[in-house]
Amino acid sequence: MYKLVLVETVSTFRHTYVVRLGIDEPNEYALDDVVAGMDNVDGGITDVTQNHIAEDIFSYRNITQAEYLEMFDRENAYLSGWPTEKKLEFIYDSLEKRAAKVHNEVNWGPDVGREILSEDC
């Protein structure tokens, strides 16, 4: 027996932009340009750097396989023609991963392979 848990997260990134303004223009114009995206001829404003800050859990709830498949098709419309088996491959199998970890630790110990890393290379 198993259950499916839908976990929704929000990722936070820090973006850096550099905006050239006329000498007499207020700095707030740069803020407007960044927020508005400045959809101009060359494709808009581009960030100079991008750093991931965090991924925070927004919500979670139990769902059925039917609800999962409906959500998959709704949010990935371009993949809706995929067979069900392919869509189900996107479900992370925590049970399988934990079982494999326990199996490896029982048979080999939690530090299997570490001796290779500790040898002089």
Has this prediction a pTM greater than 0.75?
Answer: no
Domain that holds residue 12: 1-63
pLDDT at residue 119, as a whole number: 45
Q: Quick one: 55 and 91 in the same domain?
A: no
Burial 19-51 (b: 16+ CB within 10 A, else e): eeeeeeeeeeebeebeeeeeeeeeeebeeeeee
Give the chain's domain count.
2
pLDDT at residue 45, as a whole number: 84
d(CA 53, CA 12): 5
Q: Quick one: 71 and 54 in the same domain?
A: no
Q: Is residue 119 part of a domain?
A: no
Q: Quick one: 49 and 84 in the same domain?
A: no
- Tens digit of each residue's pLDDT (9 = 90 or more) over 74-101: 999 999 999 999 999 999 988 887 777 7
pLDDT at residue 98, as a whole number: 76
Q: Quick one: 12 and 42 in the same domain?
A: yes
Q: Is residue 120 part of a domain?
A: no
pLDDT at residue 37, as a whole number: 76
Q: What is the mean pLDDT of each run of 10 residues along the chain (121 residues)?
A: 94 94 96 77 79 96 97 96 95 82 63 49 44
Q: Quick one: 74 and 44 in the same domain?
A: no
Q: Quick one: 50 and 22 in the same domain?
A: yes
Q: Quick one: 58 and 91 in the same domain?
A: no
Q: Is residue 121 part of a domain?
A: no
d(CA 108, CA 97): 16
